[in-house]
């Protein structure tokens, strides 16, 4: 294939494949712990972090991870204290972090940041260093998830019961938020800050329509994510559109088609049940 | 008395509202301890304090477990606080009971699977092991959550309104299972219930909770609202707290 000869496309595909494994695993917990909106907040905080890193002359990815991780913990702390509701905390942080990012980028004289690329994804921007960072940090995230997998299951299914077993459910919740923050930053180059939260929701939400066992949901989410990201990258190249937008639109289309067939199947079952009842009476 | 649990001067507040006031209770090992009282009286709060979910403002809760280390408590919450949409099979739900003993990081293996299977068999839910938890009836779900509590191999089992939201046939079956757990496994069981008829049948001690707690050792105290004398064809309404501890007896038709 012609496009695979281009180095930037090879890099984009490698990064795409890496985040296609990472995002659905995290997506499973985001969907089942109702963390979708927190995911959006964390993604926007990552933008502020990236701008701060760039302004201070430190690595923007590391700055983003620290800034968005700290923001996630802040949201969790504030919402758990019950003084401010969670969506209020996220709403405030979301806009404040974006505003900070815009101000800092504006203040920086040698303006070199590809703002549109960070916001909506740019496959041309993926560097060799990005691949290494995403591979290493993504592996770390997956190892941590695998180590605490049973605790995260409990966190999503019945946190209160976990507490009665003496497990540290609150620190585990914070840990999950930090893992989400890292995943958001890693996926930022390809998907973009504004759209990354979709990849934290769509794969598991689509798979969960059809499967009722967490193992199947996670495996199918990964398959869905791989199809979505790879086809999105190709669409981005051929149609010359932002990669994040094409990936998210394909993912959303998959979700809607899946939902359509699910509803049709349910109606079919209901109709056959009614027919059976009528025949019996 | 051979106590498995001692509650001493325990108080609890939600904000400024006093929910429990200097509660004292000794729970006898190997028996069923009933907890009754009006809604909002603090029954579930007391159970949550014992389960370690809530910290009391004052006082202490101490245990005397025979099986050495650990908390050895199995807890079944009221209207189980679970995410019903979570994609999980009944077997995996029951295995969660063993997570506490496994501690962080260690994963459930063959032993935990076997313990879960035995707990499921004991509660009569083994045929549902491959089903999703939300596909079961209310009574079956309650039995799954008791099986999960049993999978932690506890000495003390805390059941918060296990008979709520289930039909009377399932309730009878549930109470029989509770008696079996007491007799065959030697468990101490604390059960919060509104079903006064079942108290004299299965409980040795009864605590009436309404901010304060009155513990009755059945059948010694005949003023206890749940003594045999007050059951039968009569219904009881019992009032505590601001109003002196007493029983209001309402006869049929009168």
Q: Report how far residue A214's alpha carbon sits from residue B188's, in angstroms, rounded to the nearest whole number.
A: 34
| Interface contact A32-B89, CB threshold 8 A | no
State mean pLDDT over A44-72: 87
pLDDT tens sequence across B99-126? 988 888 888 999 999 999 999 999 999 9
pLDDT tens sequence across B51-88? 988 999 989 999 888 876 556 889 998 776 789 999 99
**Could you tell me which chain A residue has the CA closest to the CA of B108?**
A150
If one counts the domains in chain A, the total is 1
Res. B219 pLDDT band, cuts 50 70 90: very low
Kindly report the backbone phi and psi dihedral angles of residue B238, in degrees, each rounded to the nearest multiple of 5, phi listed first. -120, 140
Is A213 in CB contact (< 8 Å) with chain B?
yes
Tell whether B198 and B131 lie within a shared domain: no
If one counts the domains in chain B, the total is 2
pLDDT at A57: 84
| Interface contact A157-B53, CB threshold 8 A | no
Question: What residues of chain A lie within 8 A of the CB of B99, using their CB?
Answer: 150-151, 154, 162, 165, 167
* DSSP at B3: E
Round the average pLDDT of chain B to a whole number and report it: 80
Tell whether B67 and B2 lie within a shared domain: yes
Nearest to B71 among A148, A156, A166 (CB): A166
Q: Is the pLDDT of residue A193 over 90?
A: no
Question: What residues of chain A lie within 8 A of the CB of B73, using their CB?
Answer: 164
Is A206 in CB contact (< 8 Å) with chain B?
no
Helix (H) or strand (E) holding B89: none
Q: Is the pLDDT of residue B247 over 50?
A: no
State mean pLDDT over A268-273: 82
pLDDT at A258: 92
Tell whether B161 and B57 lie within a shared domain: yes
Question: What residues of chain B lie within 8 A of the CB of A168, using their CB?
Answer: 104
Res. A109 pLDDT band, cuts 50 70 90: low
State mean pLDDT over B221-227: 41
| Full domain range(s) for residue B175 | 1-72+154-221
Tell whether B51 and B163 lie within a shared domain: yes
| Interface contact A148-B89, CB threshold 8 A | no
Structural domain contains residue B126: yes
SS3 of A186-209: the string is HHHHHHCCCCHHHHCCHHHHHHCC
State mean pLDDT over A205-225: 94
CATH number of the domain that B174 lies in?
3.40.50.300
Task: Let me know: does B148 contact B65? Beta carbons within 8 Å.
Answer: no
Go through chain B and tell me how many residues it has.
254
Probe site for chain A from B87, B96, B136, B150 (most A CB atoms < 10 A): B87
Q: Is the pLDDT of residue A267 over 80?
A: yes
Q: Report how far residue A244's alpha carbon sits from residue A12's, in angstroms, rounded to the nearest whole number.
A: 12
Question: What residues of chain A lie within 8 A of the CB of B86, using their CB?
Answer: 32, 156-157, 214
pLDDT tens sequence across B161-210? 888 878 888 888 888 889 999 998 889 999 998 877 778 788 888 888 88
Tell whether B34 and B134 lie within a shared domain: no
* Cα of A143 to nearest chain B Cα, Å: 11
* Cα of A213 to nearest chain B Cα, Å: 5
Q: Is the pLDDT of residue A253 over 70?
A: yes
CATH number of the domain that A232 lies in?
1.10.3470.10
Structural domain contains residue B247: no
* Cα of A5 to nearest chain B Cα, Å: 42
Tell whether B48 and B85 lie within a shared domain: no
pLDDT at B240: 38
Among the candidates B102, B124, B153, a domain finishes at B153
| Interface contact A214-B88, CB threshold 8 A | yes
Structural domain contains residue B211: yes
**Could you tell me which chain B residue has the CA closest to the CA of A146?**
B105
State mean pLDDT over A179-204: 86
Tell whether B128 and B36 lie within a shared domain: no
* Rounded alpha-carbon distances, angstroms, from residue B253 to A213, B227, B230, B234: 53, 21, 16, 10
Tell whether B186 and B85 lie within a shared domain: no
Structural domain contains residue B231: no
Residue of B78, B70, B82, B80 lying closest to B46 (CA atoms): B78
Tell whether B162 and B65 lie within a shared domain: yes
pLDDT at B218: 58
ipTM associated with this complex: 0.85
Tell whether B58 and B117 lie within a shared domain: no
Q: Report how far residue A181's alpha carbon sits from residue A137's, in angstroms, rounded to the nearest whole number.
A: 12
Task: Let me know: does A28 contact A218? Beta carbons within 8 Å.
Answer: yes
Tell whether B159 and B67 lie within a shared domain: yes
Q: Is the pLDDT of residue A44 over 50?
A: yes
Lowest-confidence segment of A51-65, A210-224, B109-123, B233-247 by average pLDDT: B233-247
State mean pLDDT over B126-146: 91
In terms of average pLDDT, the best of A2-6, A183-187, B36-40 is A183-187
Structural domain contains residue B242: no
- High-pLDDT (> 70) share of chain A, %: 98
| Full domain range(s) for residue A23 | 2-280
Among the candidates B153, B170, B196, a domain finishes at B153
């Amino acid at each position: 294939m012609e496009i695979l000869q281009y180095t930037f496309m090879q890099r984009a595909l490698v990064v795409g494949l890496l985040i296609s494994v990472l995002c659905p695993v995290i997506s499973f917990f985001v969907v089942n712990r109702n963390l979708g909106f927190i995911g959006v907040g964390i993604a926007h905080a990552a933008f502020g972090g990236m701008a701060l890193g760039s302004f201070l002359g430190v690595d923007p990815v590391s700055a983003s991870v620290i800034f968005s991780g700290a923001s996630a913990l802040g949201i969790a702390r504030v919402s758990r204290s019950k003084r401010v509701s969670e969506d209020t905390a996220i709403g405030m942080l979301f806009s404040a972090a974006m505003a900070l990012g815009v101000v800092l980028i504006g203040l920086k004289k040698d303006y070199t940041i590809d703002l549109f690329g960070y916001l909506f994804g740019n496959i041309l921007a993926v560097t060799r260093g990005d691949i290494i960072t995403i591979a290493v940090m993504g592996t770390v995230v997956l190892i941590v998830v695998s180590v605490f997998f049973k605790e995260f299951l409990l966190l999503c299914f019945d946190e209160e019961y976990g507490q009665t077993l003496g497990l540290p459910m609150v620190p585990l919740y914070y840990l999950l938020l930090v893992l989400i923050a890292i995943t958001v930053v890693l996926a930022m180059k390809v998907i973009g800050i504004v759209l990354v939260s979709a990849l934290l929701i769509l794969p598991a939400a689509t798979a969960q329509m059809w499967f009722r066992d967490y193992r199947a949901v996670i495996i199918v989410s990964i398959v869905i994510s791989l199809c979505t990201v790879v086809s999105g990258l190709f669409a981005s190249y051929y149609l010359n559109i932002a990669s994040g937008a094409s990936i998210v639109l394909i993912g959303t289309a998959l979700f809607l088609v899946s939902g359509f067939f699910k509803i049709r199947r349910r109606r079919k079952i209901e109709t056959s049940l009614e027919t059976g009842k009528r025949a019996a009476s | 008395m051979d106590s498995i649990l001692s509650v001493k001067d325990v108080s609890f507040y939600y904000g400024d509202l006093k929910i429990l006031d200097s509660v004292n209770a000794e729970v006898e090992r190997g028996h069923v301890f009933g907890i009754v009282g009006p809604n909002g009286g603090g029954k579930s709060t007391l159970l949550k304090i014992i389960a370690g979910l809530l910290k009391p403002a004052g006082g202490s809760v101490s245990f005397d477990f025979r099986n050495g280390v650990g908390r050895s408590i199995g807890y079944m919450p009221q209207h189980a606080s679970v995410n019903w949409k979570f994609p999980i099979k009944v077997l995996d739900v029951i295995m969660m009971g063993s997570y506490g003993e496994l501690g962080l990081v260690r994963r459930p293996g063959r032993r935990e699977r076997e313990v879960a299977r035995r707990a499921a068999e004991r509660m009569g839910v083994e045929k549902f092991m491959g089903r999703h938890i939300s596909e079961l009836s209310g009574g079956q779900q309650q039995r799954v959550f008791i099986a999960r509590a049993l999978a932690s191999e506890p000495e003390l089992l805390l059941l918060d309104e296990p008979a709520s939201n289930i039909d009377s046939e399932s309730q009878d079956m549930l109470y029989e299972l509770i008696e079996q757990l007491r007799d065959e496994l030697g468990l101490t069981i604390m059960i919060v219930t509104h079903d006064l008829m079942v108290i004299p049948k299965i409980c040795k001690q009864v605590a009436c909770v309404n901010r304060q707690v009155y513990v009755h050792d059945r059948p010694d105290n005949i003023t206890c609202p749940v003594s045999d004398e007050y059951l039968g064809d009569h219904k009881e309404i019992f009032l505590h707290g601001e109003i002196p501890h007493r029983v209001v007896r309402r006869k049929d038709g009168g």
